[in-house]
Structure 1
Amino acid sequence: MRTVYFNRKSLFLLLVVIGISVLCIITILNSNNNSNNIFENKGNNNILINNENFQFNVKDVNARKLLTNNNIDNDKAIFIKKMMKHAWDGYKKYAWGANELNSIQKMASSQEIFGGPRMPATIVDAADTLFIMDMMEEYKEAEEYLLKNFKMSDAIRSLSVFEMTIRFVGGFLSLFALTGKEFYKTFAKNVTDTLLVSFNSPTGLPYNIVAPKDNRTMNYGWVTNSAHILADVGTLHLEFDYLSHITGDPNYREKVINARNIIDKQKKIDNLYGLYLSKDDGHFITREVSLGAMGDSFYEYLLKEWLISDKKDNIAYEMYKKASINIRKKMIIKSNGNFTYLIELKNGKILNKMSHLSCFAVGMFALEAYHSTDENDKKEIMELAEELGYTCYQSYKRSKTGLGPEMFHFDSNQDAISLSGEVQYFLRPEVIEGIYYLAKLTGKDKYKQWNWEIAQNIEKWCRNEAGYQGIKNVYNPEIGFDSTQQSFFLAETLKYLYLTFADNKISLNKWVFNTEAHPLPIH
């Protein structure tokens, strides 16, 4: 064996070479590691990706580490998971087991609709998102809490039949479908059984509210004549039907089919459904039609009832198809600036405004087009979905924050701008939801870019130390923030953002999302 001797200069040069080699190896390993922490304090960055300039407004994004394995969509999905992690950790630290998080005051926040402060709306709403995102440590936290603590006896105040169905029943059913764990089915049944008393009405339409302690039922007093609300009575079908399917008890399905039949037999308003139905006989008591608040998810569920039945529920499809034709004939307008939008109708008058909530229709029309067997309809309806999607996206682009208001208007001077006091952003999902469907069903990359921009703007303007907050004025954010981290932010907003970039997680040919973004299997 030959012995080699080094002088000091040679030894120094050798150490330098070794050091540089080690640094190169570390850099390569970091760049190829998909699970790298992309949140480091590197300041704002502009990145050129596929010849597109992405403005990173997020204060702590490390631009170099954003690109891993040349899989840009995967990196964006990781980014959304980090947002979910921050929202979940804040809720866990400051509001664990409560309805929602007050992210500004770092405390629990409660809403009357959930039956009391001990009903864990955020945990139920978020759990399937955690599961879908493969955040298994956080998912296990949710599962263990629910298994040990969830009970309907904690519902000591009034329950919204609509909200409890879409959030709690839908959430538990989705978890059962995703995991196969029987206790989720039991939880879904327990909640639904508590709500069944709401159907004991003169019409068979469910009341809006159940007081579980004494089984009292009622409608909201602020509605004219305490009427039923279209969306509330018409957005229960997916959940009740699937519960019948997995329990073998037809009673749940029969309740919602009867309610649907009652709604359909009423005299329509220009062949459209009114927002309010008489609590005495079910007729429409006003001539108001909208795909925004009070009406939206009724139409959504007609289409999805057909889809989740594997296209066997022809009554649902016929009801939807007639409604869709009349919506397209009577409620779609182009502005002077060539923006396509959904109007509202009130006593025969046109209201030239569109709500954030009504942007759900982008996804509804995209699904209709995708499943249409008529090539002319398929093309025409998908074009409508894309035009409405562009309008909803522009309602975001035209604000200082890049986030959209509750309501936006159209007149001879401006388009997609809020003219009233409805300038808040409450972490809502509907615009993101519509863009998600466009991205998946058209395959066009621009829609992914739109949701990526929105994700960055949420991170820039809505993130705080404890979680996420709403904005009181999207045009003037200095006015202040709304403190509630809504449970639907974790159930819907972040889920649709994540799924925009995560391929093959939830196939739209096998699953149908309820209106709270809880996926239920086609059966």
Structure 2
Amino acid sequence: NKAVELGEKLLPAFNTPTGIPRGVINLGSGTSWSWGWASAGSSILAEFGTLHLEFVHLTELSNNPVFKEKVMSIRKLLNKIEKPHGLYPNFLSPVSGNWVQHHVSIGGLGDSFYEYLIKSYLMSDKTDEEAKKMYYSALEAIEANLVQKSPGGLTYMAEWRGGILDHKMGHLACFSGGMIGIGADDGAPEKRQHYLDLAAEITHTCHESYTRSTTRLGPEAFRFDSGAEATATRLSDRYYILRPEVIESYMYLYLLFSDDDLLSLEDWVFNTEAHPLPIIRKSCLQDEVTEEKTVSE
């Protein structure tokens, strides 16, 4: 009941011309607004794009379709609008439905949007073909535009600013090794091993960002420029705040190659904060339809 109550309290944030929710809501009054630091009153990709698992699960729990409808409306808009080079910028106007800046990052501001595409497909028992298509199309664009290899052989995710690469990888982007790993098996057959290799390479780079620091703690961001590789060259990047993304990728790669009786990824999907959500089995949905039909008869 509390989960449904909270979901209902969040719904007014979606009352925008586009259906894209604003970033902040007063749960008492229902008034919502965008973050003051967000460019031109925009909404953040990693925020409005990281609701799908929870809202679909809430519809399953409550039998109220409104929660799923809200996140499907977000997806519909994202599919409709033009994406530069197939990439999803981090800032979107909830009023006009246009991108506000052409800044693309697999780290902060963008990160979990991509993660939730592949996890939405997995949580649906691999029936959500739209999520699958969006994920692999996005991954293809990421590989074509953001994935780089340093002179020393380290694979990393650069940031994209209006067509210009910033050779910086944030700690937040280190989740991507695990994401690519869990999505490898459902990619095109000829690319499955490539995805596993890419997942391992990115995770190795993030591991290197730890081993190359004096304290063996990974920095908030590390760079690949002016001869630096996987090191924090700016004072503003030299801090550690217990971020879990590197460990997250370690966990997924470990589970992918461990015995299923440890924790089966065939049965559970973890949201961005590592809470397990059950995969919605096709057989369960069919049983519900059959049961409803029998009752009505």
- TM value normalised by structure 2: 0.91
Match of 2:53 among 227, 238, 246: 238
What corresponds to 2:284 in structure 1? none
8 Å CA contact 1:336, 1:411 repeated in 2: no
Q: Distance in 1 between matches of 2:55 and 2:98?
A: 24
Match of 2:3 among 185, 188, 202: 188
Q: Distance in 2 between matches of 1:254 and 1:505?
A: 35
Match of 1:442 among 248, 257, 264: 257
Q: Distance in 1 between matches of 2:156 and 2:188?
A: 25
Match of 1:310 among 115, 119, 125: 125
Q: Which has the larger radius of gyration?
A: 1
Change (3 A) 1:242 1:343: same
What corresponds to 1:359 in structure 2? 174
SS of 2:252's equivalent?
helix
Q: Distance in 1 between matches of 2:261 and 2:257?
A: 15
8 Å CA contact 2:90, 2:109 repeated in 1: yes
**Cα distance, 1:248 vs structure 2:** 1.0
8 Å CA contact 1:288, 1:346 repeated in 2: yes
- 1:115-514 superposed matches below 5 A: 186-372=1-187, 374=189, 376-420=190-234, 421-443=236-258, 504-514=261-271
8 Å CA contact 1:228, 1:276 repeated in 2: yes
8 Å CA contact 2:136, 2:187 repeated in 1: no
Q: Distance in 1 between matches of 2:26 and 2:139?
A: 36
Q: Sequence identity of aligned pairs in percent?
A: 42
Q: Distance in 1 between matches of 2:171 and 2:177?
A: 11
**Cα distance, 1:337 vs structure 2:** 1.0
Q: Distance in 2 between matches of 1:277 and 1:264?
A: 13
Q: CA RMSD in A?
A: 1.4
8 Å CA contact 1:335, 1:411 repeated in 2: no
Q: Distance in 2 between matches of 1:383 and 1:312?
A: 26
The Cα offsets for residues 212-238 of structure 1, whole Å up to 9 and x where unpaired, read as 222111011111111011111110000
Match of 1:518 among 275, 280, 283: 275
**Cα distance, 1:426 vs structure 2:** 0.9
**Cα distance, 1:350 vs structure 2:** 0.5
**For structure 2, which runs of at least 5 residues remain unmatched after alignment?**
281-297
Q: What count of residue pairs does the alignment treat as equivalent? A: 279
Q: Distance in 1 between matches of 2:256 and 2:262?
A: 15
SS of 1:354's equivalent?
strand
**Cα distance, 1:371 vs structure 2:** 3.1
**Cα distance, 1:505 vs structure 2:** 4.6
Q: Distance in 1 between matches of 2:264 and 2:55?
A: 22
**Cα distance, 1:504 vs structure 2:** 3.2
Query: Which of structure 1's runs of 4+ aligned residues deviate more than 6 A?
Result: none
The AA in structure 1 aligned to 2:17 is P
8 Å CA contact 1:272, 1:326 repeated in 2: yes
Q: Distance in 2 between matches of 1:382 and 1:212?
A: 42
8 Å CA contact 1:336, 1:412 repeated in 2: no
8 Å CA contact 1:370, 1:441 repeated in 2: no
The AA in structure 2 aligned to 1:312 is T
SS of 1:327's equivalent?
helix
Q: Distance in 2 between matches of 1:280 and 1:254?
A: 19
Q: Distance in 1 between matches of 2:168 and 2:29?
A: 42
**For structure 1, which runs of at least 5 residues remain unmatched after alignment?**
1-185, 444-501
- TM value normalised by structure 1: 0.52
SS of 1:333's equivalent?
strand
8 Å CA contact 2:19, 2:94 repeated in 1: no
Q: Distance in 1 between matches of 2:28 and 2:188?
A: 50
8 Å CA contact 1:230, 1:298 repeated in 2: yes
What corresponds to 1:487 in structure 2? none
SS of 2:230's equivalent?
strand
SS of 1:440's equivalent?
helix
Q: Distance in 2 between matches of 1:275 and 1:373?
A: 27
Q: Distance in 2 between matches of 1:243 and 1:315?
A: 20
